[in-house]
Amino acid sequence: MGLATTRGVDREVRESIREFLYLESLALDERRFRDWLEAFAEDARYEIPVRVTREKFSEWELSPTSRIFDDTKETLEVRVKRLETDFAWSEQPPSRTRHFITNIVVRPTDEADEFLALSNCLVYRSRGEETTPSLFSAQRRDLLRRADEGDGCGWLIVHRWAALDQAVVNAHNMSIFI
Amino acid sequence: MAAIGTSEGVQRMLADMREGVLQGRVPARIFNDQEIFDLERDKLFSTAWCFLAHESEIPKNGDYVVRYIANNSIIVVRDEHGNLTASLNMCRHRGNMMCKSEMGNASHFRCSYHGWVYKNSGELIGVPYFKEGYEGKLDRKQWGLVKVRIDTYAGLIFGTLDPDAPSLDEYLGGFQFYLDIYLKQGAGGSEVHGPPDHWVAETDWKICAENFSGDGYHTPVAHQFGFHLGYFPSSGATHSEGWAVHIPDKGHSIGLGHTPGMPPFFGYPDQLVEQMRASLSPEQMEVFSKTRTAVGSVFPNLSFLIQPFSLVPGEPGVRFCTMRLWHPIGPGRMEMWSWCLVPKDASDEYKEEAYKAYTLAFGQAGTFEQDDFENWTRVTRAAGSTAVRGVEFPYVMGLDRPRLDDFPGPGYAVSPYVTDTNFRNLWSTWLDYLTREV
């Protein structure tokens, strides 16, 4: 397909999706997790596959069966409820995160009100007095659905798929969201 | 005798620890120290049986995975005849790494340096310029990949670097009885759901191994959110109930948490329980049917957990099983491999549900796992600080607790579940390895 163009996606849609992705990551970085949950459709899936170092031309490098996250909106809400207790030790004191979202490419889908947004995501996480941060570099592929009128976000995440670039992840846990 | 190069301070600490463990004291320093790490590498991991892979990770001929014992990279292969074999991941010619991937399928391995070619079982069969260069001086039979001794139990492939080590059967020493709760889920046994989660942590492997040797004590606090949200199938009031069992002088142990009134095998499909009734012994069924949580470790660094868990608080839930390897890569630093084991004969729906429960609770983003590693990393940091060098931790829980003489399984069993009994055996076994002549 060469360098597939994004013809068929008008400027308004591209701009609005870019804005949405920025606002969504702002909610995460400001630890407004309830606001963040609102960005997900009721039937949403949140998925981070396990990456495996494989030979070139292998059938897959991202496991078709293993996941670091394999969540629905319901289980994401359980994670958020957990963060709202006093006993989520992995986030006590909380991580400082900064999500850097770049290289956004928006593609049309077969559904008129759904678009695929590809982006690069670099998450910087600092914890406590540790001077070495965790860095998570990922490719994101988000299926977005236009939200109903009156829904403030403008878009809903139907499927977030994020593939980390490291096969051996250099963080003692993933208590944050990508 | 400690190894040459071990300081007098560490030698004295280990000598004192011999008596100390029996009295319920363990030095904090062992949990983050360069000399201890070196001793473990040279005396423990060079002689013990260490976990390499599960057979279901390499189901087809030619399948391989690359794993480690201490700092040794090892290729574990199912060869062209279906036999399991393991070799050092190093070309015999000049030492280049053979397999650079974590897993794959190959009938032969070809070195990317000078091109020596080996069968996947390790025999050297191809040497460039064999006639012109070597002129008959090279006997290919002598220069295969360096073999690693392996043996299996119920799907687990273990390796040892010690040609004189006792058999795996003797090494496990009766712990097989308990391992079956994880490895023989249903008639077809257990299989991995997929490749493991794999990450690094600034944590000493022993803290994790101890925790998974039956630390039911930490659960109501370290995982308090679970009780708080109401989906942990236990309560603070009854959480201490159950049994702790270890194999004396072998270091293997298991904690069996029991919830009064919980139906037997809660969270398993009935059909699976029927199959287990046929394939497991009545004694095993008696123990396993009363078990809510089974958290156990094969010495030194392979652990398992079975636990019923629901995705949403308050729902019935399913039983998931995780297998994990705490692999030391430096003092206070480790690589973590975490698998989900599913019953091979269960429905795809059950496997998926169990896997989802695993990822929500364990694995790198699991809510329980997250809190464990947060705590363990801080323990490791404290253990490495200078003022802690002379500090000991108390291991006196259950010190005078009598051994149960009517427990159906082998080993040394006590009740309740919350006790340090298993850990004292763990650390005295560890000490046996570190202080023996090699």
CB-CB: which of B225, B335, B364 is closest to A174?
Answer: B364
Amino acid at B360: L
The residue in chain A having the minimum alpha-carbon distance to the alpha carbon of residue B340 is A66
Name the 3-class secondary structure at A2: coil
Of B95, B133, B100, B132, which Cα lies nearest the Cα of B113? B95
**pLDDT for residue B316:** 82
CATH number at B50-154: 2.102.10.10
The CA distance from B18 to the nearest CA of chain A, in Å, is 32
A114-126 β-sheet, strand order: A62-72, A40-51, A155-164, A134-146, A114-126, A96-108
User: Which residues of B sit within 8 Å Cβ distance of A?
Assistant: 100-104, 193-203, 222-225, 228-229, 311-313, 335, 355-356, 359-360, 363-365, 367, 369-371, 373-377
The pLDDT of residue A3 is above 90: no
Distance CA B113, CA A10 (A): 52
Contact B102 A66 (CB under 8 A): no
β-strands A155-164, A40-51 pairing: parallel
Give the CA diameter of chain A: 51
Name the 3-class secondary structure at B76: strand
What are the tens digits of pLDDT across the range A7-38? 779 999 999 999 999 999 999 999 999 999 99
Residues of A in contact with B101 (CB under 8 A): 52-55, 58
Distance CA B358, CA B342 (A): 10
Name the 3-class secondary structure at B208: helix
Distance CA B373, CA B359 (A): 15
**pLDDT for residue A81:** 96
Distance CA B58, CA B61 (A): 8
Of B376, B385, B22, which Cα lies nearest the Cα of B210? B376
Q: Which domains does chain A have, with CATH numbers?
A: 11-164 (3.10.450.50)
Contact A172 B369 (CB under 8 A): no
User: What are the b/e assignments for A63-101, b being 16+ CB within 10 Å?
Assistant: beebbbbbbbbebbbbbebbbeeebbbbbeeebebebeb
Distance CA A59, CA B83 (A): 24
* Phi and psi angles of residue B23, each rounded to the nearest 5 degrees, phi first: -90, 0
Exposed/middle/buried for B219, CB within 10 Å: 0-12, 13-18, 19+? Answer: buried
Residue A163, both tokens? 């593939």
Distance CA A40, CA A45 (A): 9
Contact A89 B374 (CB under 8 A): yes
Topology given in CATH for the domain delimited by B173-435: Naphthalene 1,2-dioxygenase Alpha Subunit; Chain A, domain 1 (3.90.380)
β-strands B63-69, B103-105 pairing: antiparallel
Residues of B in contact with A95 (CB under 8 A): none
As for the ipTM of the complex, it is 0.94
Name the 3-class secondary structure at A34: helix
Element (H, E) at B289: helix B282-289
Contact A66 B193 (CB under 8 A): yes
**pLDDT for residue B1:** 45
Residues of A in contact with B205 (CB under 8 A): none
**pLDDT for residue B2:** 45
The residue in chain A having the minimum alpha-carbon distance to the alpha carbon of residue B335 is A168
Of A96, A88, A83, A164, which Cα lies nearest the Cα of B369? A88
Q: Are A111 and A65 in contact (CB under 8 A)?
A: no
Residue B83, both tokens? 């036999």
What is the band of A159 on the pLDDT scale with cuts at 50, 70, 90?
A: very high
Contact A55 B101 (CB under 8 A): yes
* Phi and psi angles of residue B160, each rounded to the nearest 5 degrees, phi first: -135, 145
The pLDDT of residue A4 is above 90: no
Residues of A in contact with B369 (CB under 8 A): 173
Of B146, B278, B263, B219, which Cα lies nearest the Cα of A89? B219
Of B215, B197, B214, B198, which Cα lies nearest the Cα of B360? B197
Residue among B101, B320, B356 with most chain A CBs within 10 A, to mutate:
B101
- Tokens 């073999």 map to which residue? B147
Of B125, B131, B129, which Cα lies nearest the Cα of B110? B125
Distance CA B118, CA B124 (A): 4
**pLDDT for residue A8:** 76
β-strands B242-246, B333-343 pairing: unpaired
- Tokens 């079975």 map to which residue? B306
Residue among A45, A95, A172 with most chain B CBs within 10 A, to mutate:
A172
Q: Are B327 and B270 in contact (CB under 8 A)?
A: no
Output the CA torsion sign for B278, B283, B288, B294: negative
Distance CA A91, CA B205 (A): 22
If one counts every other C-beta atom within 10 angstroms of the C-beta of residue B249, the result is 10
Rg (CA), chain A: 17
Residues of B in contact with A90 (CB under 8 A): 370-371, 373-374
Intrachain domains B50-154 and B173-435 with the same fold: no
Please list the residues that pair with A169 across neighbouring strands. B199
Q: Per-residue pLDDT for chain B (438 aa), expressed as one digit of tens each? A: 445 678 999 999 999 999 999 999 999 999 999 999 999 999 999 999 999 999 999 999 999 999 999 999 999 999 999 999 999 999 999 999 999 999 999 999 999 999 999 999 999 999 999 999 999 999 999 999 999 999 999 999 999 999 999 999 999 999 999 999 999 999 999 999 999 999 999 999 999 999 999 999 999 999 999 888 887 666 778 889 999 999 999 999 999 999 999 999 999 999 999 999 999 999 999 999 999 999 999 999 999 999 999 999 888 889 999 999 999 999 999 999 999 999 999 999 999 999 999 999 999 999 999 999 999 999 999 999 999 989 999 999 999 999 999 999 999 999 999 999 999 999 999 999 999 987
β-strands B50-54, B156-160 pairing: antiparallel
At a CB cut-off of 8 Å and minimum separation 6, what does A16 contact?
Answer: A154, A155
Distance CA A153, CA B346 (A): 42
Phi-psi label, residue A8: left if phi above 0, alpha if psi -120 to 50, beta otherwise: left
Of B66, B71, B151, B144, which Cα lies nearest the Cα of B106? B66
Contact B355 A70 (CB under 8 A): yes
Element (H, E) at B32: none
Contact A89 B367 (CB under 8 A): no
Strand ranges inside B395-434, DSSP E: 412-414
Residue B187, both tokens? 């008639």
Distance CA B312, CA B285 (A): 29
Please list the residues that pair with A106 across neighbouring strands. A117
Please list the residues that pair with B69 across neighbouring strands. B72
CB-CB: which of A70, A78, A173 is closest to B369?
Answer: A173
Q: Are B196 and B170 in contact (CB under 8 A)?
A: no
Of B130, B119, B4, which Cα lies nearest the Cα of B62? B119
For chain B, the structural domain boundaries read 50-154, 173-435
**pLDDT for residue B4:** 60
Output the CA torsion sign for A162, A168, A171, A172: positive
Residues of B in contact with A79 (CB under 8 A): 360, 367
